[in-house]
Chains A and B, each alone.
Chain A
Amino acid sequence: MAQFKWVFVAVFLGTALVVAALLINARRPSLERSQPEAALVEATGKCAECHRRETSTVVHQFERSKHAAKGVTCLDCHRPAAGQESQDHRGFVIAKELTSKNCAECHSTEYEQFARSRHAAPSWAAVNGAKDFSPAQLELGERYHKGWVDRAAMGIGAMEGPAALASGCNACHAVGKPNADGSFGSCTNCHSRHSASVALAREPTTCGQCHMGPDHSQLEIYGESKHGALFQAQRASLNLAANPKQLTTSDMPIPTCATCHMSGLEGMKVTHDTTERLSYFLFSPVSQKRPNGERGQAEMKELCMKCHVRSRIDKFYAAAEQVLLATNDKVKAATDVVAGLRAAGKLTAAPFDEAIEFKEFDLWHYYGRTAKHGAYMGGADFVQWHGNYELLKLRREIDIEAAELQRGPAAANSGGPSLSAPPVPGAASSTVPTRAPAQPAPSAH
């Protein structure tokens, strides 16, 4: 037996090495060892191995994200969901294009709320009409927003040309773009891609990527409001990354857009339907109450009460409603003037081929909206100088121009399509520019 001593020593040493290997492997995080598929294990490190060189930022963004902290791998998001086209990518099968459907694999409730919001189908339809939707997408959009999805494309974008449409209008309205996999848009518009950040979605500037400018100046109004001023002063003390389901006023003592429109502050329901707490269709030329406007207002007021007393909130809403009703009257009166001219044959039937039509459009689309948004968001300067003053000025100009038109001859094509309308590059013949409707109906924005 003694002659085999060194064989036993070798066996013992070999066994010790194997045990050491097992122990080292056991010390690795379970994320890197325990996955349902080998590809998911590889994705915990293989992807970064190349992307650290090729697109290093995405690796660093992901490493700082909550997704990384929770053990989500690259492949968890990049693998093709049902109905998505796939491609081979260096040993992995990944989706050719990621959509909100990939996010919905884990965040289905959030996606469902988003899918029934105006950010989904109505947003895309507002510019592009109904032509891009599948029957199922159209049905879903119409179920929640009757008349806002199954509609004609916006005329102005088509008149401006496909380049303006693609890089202008659709850069924002793609938030609800119908995807081939049946979903709408992409969550990354607000949360970014590899950061997948809740904090980013709570930043006013994130909403302000689209909700800014003369036609919907929410970011500018917020900046002028007390909320915005406080945010600027105290943002360092806010916990913008707080868990949405456990958000308190301690995390967010100052509201941003998301706090009022989406957050579940202190037990309230979180929602990705940004329209749920709204009362009126403020973007319409003549604003009317939303179908669930009473409930929406009640929910918003409940949130306001986290900071303000009931009497103050009611007073604020009453004052805002007064501005809204007054603006409605002003817009209605101006559009009546233009409608009267058209009825009298002083304007062609084609939209946007006469100067007064642009003035009429600007009146409600820029200044009417601005006055109303200013009133509901606490932006006094936007109610007054950027809103009502401009309404007054434009109304005066419309009146002067209308008087001149009344004195002149009838328009050349008052009964039929205008020959003087600018050519519409690439636009289908059915694409008719949308006029400012008197009642809530699909509008230019």
Chain B
Amino acid sequence: MRAGFSESLAGRVVRRLSPERVLHAFIASNLGFLAADIALAHAANRFARREEWWPIAFSVCAALLLVPSLLRPARHAILRRVELLVGAFSVAVGVLGMILHLQSAFFETQTLETLVYSAPFAAPLAYVGLGLLLIMARMERPETEIWEAWVLFFTLGGFIGNLALTLTDHAQNGFFSVSEWAAVVGAAFGCSFLVVFLLRPESRPLERALRYVLAFEATLGVLGFALHVRSNLGRPGSWFDRALYGAPLFAPLLFADLAALGAIALWSRARRAKA
């Protein structure tokens, strides 16, 4: 009886899943998770400036504001407006964050060194990406060719940001371990396959290759997470200190996250092709 009930619930959930709803869940969960990620990153800075609390507050509010429309697929007009508002604020927070991060050192001397050792300038752009993704999702008809292209475009944007982050973050470490280049290679090929696929979406071998590339990116993310954990285990200090000042634990998971975003678009394509 119980097993039957579970199957029926699981079946119902799966039946109700769609690329559009999964994308919405993706945006809401990413915005919510950024609160924890940024709390950890800014704790390393001991929240030296009051502005460092802003993205955390915004992330929590944004994630909560997106929950109602996640639960109700047939959305009320007011929920649409809330989503657009969250999207617009997200873009603003991201742009402001990037400026403030660059202001931490880079704007003083504008050298490669200060770019490397500034607060990660590309990180706040995650808000810009998520905000624009949210706005796009409310402006385009879901599960259309253009909707998929937009999703892939933002996946590409994520990989470009990831390329900058992996370069600057690992440059802080002087690429001391050769394995640190794997992240750069992963981000570079994520970018290249996505950009070519956006230009030539009709190429079937390229689409197949992109699936493998995304699977590779997801694996790379999990592997990177494991390597960062291992690196931090070898560092001095308490567990908390290691998490704060060691290799950023969640950063590699961005590969898996972006792979999931790209997969949503490919899933939509596959559903359309089937239909």
Contacts and interface: CB of A to CB of B under 8 A. Distances in A.
Interface of A: 3-7, 9-18, 21, 24-25, 27-29, 32-35, 38, 41-42, 44-46, 48-50, 52-53, 88, 90-93
Contact of A18 (B119, B171, B172, B188): B188
A415 B210 CA distance: 103
Among A18, A21, A45, A52, max chain B CB count under 10 A is at A21
Contacts of B188: 14-15, 17-18, 21
Contact of B205 (A4, A53, A90): A4
B171 A91 contact: no
A230 B185 CA distance: 64
Contacts of A21: 163, 167, 184, 188
Interface residues of B, number: 46
B112 interface: yes
A66 B42 CA distance: 33
Given A11-B192, A27-B112, A88-B237, A41 B173 contact: yes
Interface string B171-200: 111111100010011001101110111001
A32 B176 CA distance: 10
A28 B193 contact: no
Nearest to A12: B192
A17 B45 contact: no
B94 interface: no
20 contacts: A10-B197, A11-B189, A11-B192, A14-B185, A14-B188, A17-B188, A17-B192, A18-B188, A21-B167, A32-B113, A34-B174, A35-B174, A42-B173, A44-B174, A45-B117, A45-B172, A48-B105, A90-B245, A91-B244, A92-B236
B192 A10 contact: yes
Interface of B: 44-45, 48, 104-105, 112-113, 116-119, 163, 167, 171-177, 181, 184-185, 188-189, 191-193, 195-197, 200, 203-206, 209, 235-238, 241-242, 244-246
A4 B44 CA distance: 47
B191 A14 contact: yes
Contacts of A4: 205
A18 B209 contact: no
Given A38-B176, A53-B48, A17 B117 contact: no
A18 B116 contact: no
Contacts of A88: 236-238, 241
A27 B112 CA distance: 9
A390 B134 CA distance: 89
Given A17-B191, A38-B176, A93-B236, A45 B113 contact: yes
